[in-house]
Amino acid sequence: MNNLHVVAMLIDDKSGEIVNAVDMSIADSDAPVFALDKPNLTLLCDVTEKLNVIDSNVPSADAEDYVFTSSNENVVKVLEDGFIRATGAGSAVVTCNSKNGSGTAQCKVTVRDWTNEVTVETPGTLHNFVGLLDYKELKVNGQLDAMDMRYIRSLTGGRDDYSADQGGSVRCLNLKDATLVSDNRPVTKDGESWYGGQSFEYKDIIYPYIFLNSHINTFICPKSLKGIDVDAFAVSSLRNVTLFEGIEQIGQGAFQELVLNSVYLPSTVSYYNLSLKYSQIDYCWVDSHNPNYMTYNNDIYTKDSKKLVHYSNSGRYTLELPDWCTEIADYLVFQDFGTLYFK
């Protein structure tokens, strides 16, 4: 490897002696590079993050070209395609090795617990806790009903016609150990909604429009969650979401008009209807064990490889469809990208 050596010297103007010298060598731009885009990370527990490989030897490498490992999965768990999840407070090192031997890179991850945590013993009583409006981050445990969820919306700065409390400061919300209980309100959806006209009660489901226009930035869903309903997070400030295995339904416009850092869809997702409409996502991945959907080139296709259902428009002006794709979902809208070319 050729380097350009530049030495900066501080010289005493009287004696002419060198007082200090600093080597400011510049490496040849053609030198191979292998690194992770984030050498250091600090995460809240349960947050999901994406690590990306910078590999000048294989610029078009796929996920299967690299192996990620964690030095302590009690702190950081490795998922797929460079996605990691913070599992407990502490420090761990995530190592990425290329299968072809082109390099090794590491990221040191520090995980911390949530600063504020409350447990709701009786559904409908979350509003009795004092000071929640002033918290920036909040973990809520216990059983939550519709009244609790509406109050949580106000805590995140969302508009809420049911609560006098407005303008809350909560931007990071963790409901991992909460359970969403039914308030015994059977709801019938129209034919365009994700249950296709069925009647059901809101149990283990994020209600429709609950975080619409809210200022929530990070959301950890309940582990018991089965579905996210219509426009639940639409037009909010959401940037990071953690979805656990067990979630089955993601409804129409659930993540509509957002700019998300990344989305990791678990293997259990079986219904996925317009949920990322008009959204920009830096990185998207469907768990490889999902029988219904898959990821190819950061886009989402049906598992039968025939239909493109989501276009991850992270800085691309050209969409190159694979030969095996024969259909594009009619709801896909490519906005703010000038002209797109299909090859």
Residue 336: its pLDDT value, please?
46
Residue 248: its pLDDT value, please?
92
Q: Is 256 helix (H, G, I), strand (E, B) or coil?
A: coil
- Token code pair at residue 206: 């994020």
Residue 135: its pLDDT value, please?
95
Q: Is 151 helix (H, G, I), strand (E, B) or coil?
A: helix
Q: 175 pLDDT exceeds 70?
A: yes
Residue 279: its pLDDT value, please?
72
pLDDT band for position 208 (cuts 50, 70, 90): confident
Q: Which of 157, 186, 189 is nearest to 171 (CA)?
A: 157
Distance CA 178, CA 56 (A): 44
pLDDT band for position 61 (cuts 50, 70, 90): low
Residue 192: its pLDDT value, please?
40
User: 133 or 320: which carries more pLDDT confidence?
Assistant: 133
Q: 191 pLDDT exceeds 70?
A: no
The mean pLDDT of 81-110, rounded to a whole number, is 94
- CB-hemisphere CA count at 13 Å for 76? 29
Residue found by looking up tokens 């216990």 in the block: 142
- Token code pair at residue 288: 């490889």
Residues 6 or more apart whose Cβ sits within 8 Å of residue 217: 171, 172, 237, 238, 239, 240
> 2: which DSSP letter?
-
User: 197 or 84: which carries more pLDDT confidence?
Assistant: 84
Min mean pLDDT across 16-30, 119-133, 248-262, 283-297 is at 16-30
Min mean pLDDT across 17-26, 52-61, 215-224, 263-272 is at 17-26
Distance CA 232, CA 210 (A): 5
Residue 190: its pLDDT value, please?
40
- The strand pairing partners of 86, in sequence order, are 76
Residue 12 CB coordination number (10 Å)? 9
Distance CA 222, CA 230 (A): 17
Distance CA 206, CA 222 (A): 9
- Token code pair at residue 177: 């150990």
User: 113 or 147: which carries more pLDDT confidence?
Assistant: 113
> 207: which DSSP letter?
P
Report for 88-97, 276-285, 302-311: range of highest mean pLDDT:
88-97
pLDDT band for position 11 (cuts 50, 70, 90): low
Residue 202: its pLDDT value, please?
63
**Strands 40-44 and 104-112: what pairing?**
parallel
- The secondary structure of the chain in percent helix, strand, coil, rounded to multiples of 5, reads 5, 35, 55
pLDDT band for position 82 (cuts 50, 70, 90): very high
- Token code pair at residue 336: 């703010």
- Token code pair at residue 72: 């302590």
The mean pLDDT of 56-62, rounded to a whole number, is 73
Q: 249 pLDDT exceeds 80?
A: yes
> pTM of the prediction?
0.81
At residue 134, what are phi and psi to the nearest 5 degrees?
-95, -5
| Burial of 137 (C-beta count, 10 Å sphere; 0-12/13-18/19+) | middle
User: 107 or 192: which carries more pLDDT confidence?
Assistant: 107
Q: 121 pLDDT exceeds 80?
A: yes
Residues 6 or more apart whose Cβ sits within 8 Å of residue 9: 18, 20, 21, 22
Q: Which of 102, 33, 41, 96 is nearest to 262 (CA)?
A: 41
- The strand pairing partners of 241, in sequence order, are 219
* pLDDT tens column, 133-147: 899 999 999 999 988
Q: 183 pLDDT exceeds 90?
A: no
Residue 68 CB coordination number (10 Å)? 20
Buried b (16+ CB within 10 A) or exposed e, 85-114: bbbeebebebbbbbeeebbebbbebebeeb
Average pLDDT, the chain: 81
Distance CA 319, CA 295 (A): 14
